[in-house]
Amino acid sequence: MATVADLRHGQKGIIKDFTENTLPIKLLELGCLPGNSVELVQVAPLNDPIYINLSGSHLAIRRSLAELIELDIVEETKSK
């Protein structure tokens, strides 16, 4: 199962429906809802934390949290 932690630079994913209550409510409020997109913007030099664009919200979260967010990776042809 892919999670936000599996994203590569510039890669996007669509958040899957989650049934478990493992995610902190704060993350939901910042836009981490099923169906919303996540993009990996940057990875910190020591590989952690990661910097994501969560449907318009730019956030840095730790990998441990990112591993809890399941998603479908959108295979994007690099247009840049």
Partner 1 sequence: MSKNINVALIGNPNTGKTSVFNQLTGLKQKVGNYPGITVEKKEGICKLPRGVKAHILDLPGTYSLNTTSLDESLVVELLLNKNDKDYPDVAVVISDVENLKRNLLLFTQIKDLKIPTILVINMADRMSRKGISLDIEAMEKKLDTKIALVSTRKNTGIDRIKELIADYKSISSKPILDPNRISPEYFERLQKTFPQNDLYKLWLVITQDVNFMPIEKKRIQDATDFATKSKDELKKLQHKETVLRYQLINNILKETYKVDFMAAKGLRASMDKILTHKVFGYLIFFVILLTIFQAIFDWSGYPMDFIDEQFALGAEWIKNTLPPGIFTDLLAEGIVAGIGGIVIFIPQIAFLFLFISLLEESGYMSRVVFLMDRVMRPFGLSGKSVVPLISGNACAIPAIMATRTIENWKERLITILVTPFTTCSARLPVYLILIALVIPEGNFLGLSYQALTLMLLYLIGFGMALLSAMVLNKILKIKSRSVFMIEMPTYRLPLLKNVGYTVIEKTKSFVLGAGKIILAISIVLWFLGSNGYSDDFKDADQIVTERIENEGLSTYSKNYIQNNIAAYQAEAQAEGMSPTAIQDSIQVLSEELSERAVAQEIASYKLEHSYIGQAGKAFEPIVKPLGYDWKIGIAVLTSFAAREVFVGTLATIYSVGSDEEETIKNRMAAELDENGQPLFNLASGISLMLFYAFAMQCMSTLAIVKRETNSWKWPMIQLGFMSVFAYIIALIAYQILI
Q: Which residue ranges make up the site for partner 1 (CB under 8 A)?
A: 21, 24-31, 33-34, 41-42, 44-49, 51, 55-62, 65
State the nearest-atom distance from the C-beta of 46 to partner 1, in Å: 4
Four-point Cα dihedral 18, 23, 26, 27, nearest 10:
-60
Nearer to partner 1, 31 or 73 (CB): 31
Give, for 27, the enclosing helix (H) or strand (E): helix 25-29
CB of 9 to partner 1, least distance (A): 10
